């Protein structure tokens, strides 16, 4: 990675985060108002390796186009909707967020809103301060013994469950990804959505907004709920149909609602506004000084780790790699990319399937990162601008089937990676390993054993194993004044099919290549570059 990487901070980030960058040897340019000036940001972004943002900066394709050196974008917070992820991925830029820095703050806000709703705190405060003393108007409900239905029992949802259990509530949860063991661990009863609607006295949402969760609480859902239910949403606007909720509040089916998030933000108007049984806050879920500090420190650490050590955590577009794994993985990422490149340079027709087999010690490493590298090498000869970050997406878009096989048992090498490419016409495979010197090498081509390092300029030849081939080939190159650096050969049986991998100094002119192809034993000759 870069010796003294440069990071631009374009939103207000805590001074302690700036200090973390500086302490780790990262050069920081702190311009907290730059996020508002798109043109200026686009003009200077080319100088930086990293960009740290909150929600004000919008990272658009126009800005990314100028980001010639950018390697990482770090968002202090969970939502990355202000970053064009596909465009960043296409350019090989890692996009990180800090999904856990504000979990407690958001969970506490949900509990606060639930308690405020149960006792009508905001309306009672307003009335009392106006000198009305309406003791009989504000009849609340107790929390103890009531059933809380949690939709989404991930990180924040499970903290809410813990706090609710402390308040002596019964907690039921709907979450398709919640295992029965995890439900027991966090003390909740796992239920289906319709049962949650039927049983809950309070409902709180803690799920991301996706096509599946949009309007998960709609008119039909509200009709199925217990009469007098109270609904809290501190997650994302759009999870609840606000117009349908207003109607349910008017009819008394829903006794109250407390919302921190709205389908349109900033919310200058909303169907819920003005209803006496509604409490609204302006997206304060993560707004505590502790949470802002946490996410800022976390993003500074994560970005520094990546720029200085190659460690990747909480990336939304690439597998995680620890600082311990990074150095060891580096050689294997190079190997995977070169094996992919070898196969890609020899593949002329459409690729249908790629199988990558990991054997020995490498099978216990982060194979997702290695697969991404192999795919990048494979696709680059055909699609120049593909990279390790974008390759899996590009392969998927082209309908290529990707299969990973891991075998941790014994193999001939301590670690072995095999890339097998299936096209309409044939299946071709190449294997490689990394020896103790950290240098990747090819050890098997099409089932024929050999041992060759990857050179910048090479020639790959398939030929019949007959005497005289090496002499005539070397002579042809010698006459053209081309120096051979290394010469590796292998064969499946005496007199059978043979392969040769030759490293040469400099490029191979087309005219010389044609002469090599015309040699009697040669079936195929292909120049390769690594």
pLDDT, position 205? 98
Separation between Cα atoms, residue 7 and residue 394, nearest integer Å: 28
Q: Which residues pair with 487 in a beta bridge?
A: 502
The answer as to CATH 3.40.50.720 being correct for domain 103-280 is yes
Q: What is residue 382's predicted lDDT score, i.e. its pLDDT?
A: 80
What's the pLDDT score for residue 191?
96
- Residue 231's DSSP bridge partners are 203, 257
Q: Report how far residue 178's alpha carbon sits from residue 161's, in angstroms, rounded to the nearest whole number.
A: 13
CA–CA dist 222, 409 (Å, integer): 55
Phi–psi pair at 12, nearest 5 degrees:
-65, 115
Q: Is 236 a catalytic residue?
A: yes
Asked about 283 being catalytic, the answer comes back as yes
| Domain ranges within the chain, ordered by starting residue | 6-100+290-309, 103-280, 324-454, 455-530
| pTM summary value | 0.71
Paired residues of 417 in beta bridges = 358, 432
**CA pair distance 236, 453, nearest whole angstrom:** 53
- Which residues in the chain show pLDDT less than 50? none
- Give pLDDT, residue 126: 96
Domains 324-454 and 455-530 share a fold: no
CATH superfamily of 324-454: D-3-phosphoglycerate dehydrogenase; domain 3 (3.30.1330.90)
pLDDT confidence of residue 1: 55
pLDDT at 2: 57
Candidate list 236, 246, 380, 441, residue with the active-site label: 236
How far apart are the C-alpha atoms of 238 and 214, rounded to whole Å? 6
What pLDDT score does 328 carry?
85
Pairing of the two strands 72-75 and 94-96 = parallel
Answer yes or no: 189 catalytic.
no
**Residue 445 in contact with residue 501, Cβ under 8 Å?**
yes
In whole angstroms, what is the distance from residue 286 CA to residue 483 CA?
A: 65
Catalytic residue among 134, 265, 403, 514: 265
- The sign one gets for the Cα dihedral 333, 338, 339, 344 is positive
In CATH terms, is domain 455-530 a member of 3.60.110.10? no
- How many CA atoms within 13 Å lie on the side-chain side of 236? 18
- Distance of alpha carbon 401 from alpha carbon 403, whole angstroms: 7
CA of 204: how far to CAs of 45, 116, 216, 272, 306, in Å?
Answer: 41, 14, 12, 17, 36
> Would you call 473 exposed, middle or buried from its count of C-beta atoms within 10 A (0-12, 13-18, 19+)?
buried
Q: What share of the chain is helix, strand, coil (3-state, %, to 5)?
A: 35, 25, 40
What is the reported pLDDT for 389? 87
Q: Which of 75, 109, 283, 380 is catalytic?
A: 283
In which region does residue 345 sit, left (phi positive, over 0), alpha (psi from -120 to 50) or beta (all else)? alpha
Q: How is domain 6-100+290-309 classified at the architecture level of CATH?
A: 3-Layer(aba) Sandwich (3.40)
Q: What is the DSSP letter of 364?
A: G
Helix ranges (H only) for 310-390 are 325-346, 367-379
C-alpha to C-alpha distance for 340 and 329, rounded to whole angstroms: 16
């Amino acid at each position: 990675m870069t010796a003294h990487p440069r990071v631009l901070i374009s939103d207000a980030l805590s001074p302690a985060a700036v200090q973390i960058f500086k302490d780790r040897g990262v050069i920081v340019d702190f311009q907290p108002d730059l996020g508002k000036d798109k043109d200026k940001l686009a003009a200077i972004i080319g100088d930086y390796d990293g960009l740290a943002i909150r929600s004000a900066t919008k990272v658009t394709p126009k800005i990314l186009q100028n980001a010639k050196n950018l390697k990482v974008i770090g968002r202090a917070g969970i939502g990355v909707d202000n970053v064009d992820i596909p465009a960043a991925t296409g350019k090989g830029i890692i996009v990180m967020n800090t999904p856990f820095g504000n979990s407690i703050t958001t969970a506490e806000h949900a509990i606060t809103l639930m308690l405020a709703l149960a006792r009508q705190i905001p309306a009672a405060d307003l009335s009392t301060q106006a000198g009305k003393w309406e003791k009989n108007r504000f009849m609340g409900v107790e929390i103890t013994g009531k059933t809380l239905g949690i939709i989404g029992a991930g990180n924040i949802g499970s903290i809410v469950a813990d706090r609710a259990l402390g308040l002596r509530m019964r907690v039921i949860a709907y979450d398709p990804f919640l295992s029965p063991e995890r439900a027991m661990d966090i003390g909740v009863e796992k239920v289906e959505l319709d049962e949650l609607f039927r049983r809950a006295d309070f409902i709180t949402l803690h799920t991301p907004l996706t096509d599946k969760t949009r309007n998960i609480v709609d008119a039909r859902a509200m009709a199925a709920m217990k009469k007098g239910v109270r609904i809290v949403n501190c997650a994302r606007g759009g999870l609840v149909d606000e117009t349908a909720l207003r109607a349910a509040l008017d009819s008394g089916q829903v006794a109250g609602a407390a919302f921190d998030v709205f389908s349109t933000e900033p919310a200058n108007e909303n169907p819920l506004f003005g209803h006496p049984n509604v409490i609204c806050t302006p997206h304060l879920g993560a707004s505590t000084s502790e949470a802002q500090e946490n996410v800022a420190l976390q993003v500074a650490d994560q970005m520094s780790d990546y720029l200085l050590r190659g460690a990747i955590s909480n990336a939304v577009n690439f597998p995680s790699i620890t600082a311990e794994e990074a150095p060891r993985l580096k050689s294997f990422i190079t190997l995977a990319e070169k094996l992919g490149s070898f196969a890609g340079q020899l593949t002329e027709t459409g690729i249908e399937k790629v199988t990558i087999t990991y054997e020995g010690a490498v099978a216990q490493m982060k194979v997702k990162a290695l697969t991404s590298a192999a795919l990048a090498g494979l696709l680059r000869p055909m699609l120049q601008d593909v990279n390790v970050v974008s390759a899996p997406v590009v392969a998927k878009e082209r309908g290529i089937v990707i299969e990973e096989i891991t075998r941790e048992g014994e193999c001939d090498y301590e670690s072995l990676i095999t890339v097998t490419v299936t096209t309409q016409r044939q299946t071709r495979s190449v294997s490689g390993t990394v020896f103790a010197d950290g240098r990747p090498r090819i050890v098997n081509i099409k089932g024929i054993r050999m041992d060759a390092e990857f050179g910048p300029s090479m020639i790959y030849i398939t030929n019949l194993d007959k005497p005289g081939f090496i002499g005539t080939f070397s002579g042809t190159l010698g006459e053209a004044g081309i120096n051979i650096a290394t010469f590796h050969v292998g064969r499946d049986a005496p007199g059978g099919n043979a392969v040769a991998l030759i490293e040469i100094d400099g490029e191979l002119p087309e005219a010389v290549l044609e002469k090599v192809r015309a040699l009697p034993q040669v079936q195929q000759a292909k120049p390769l570059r690594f």
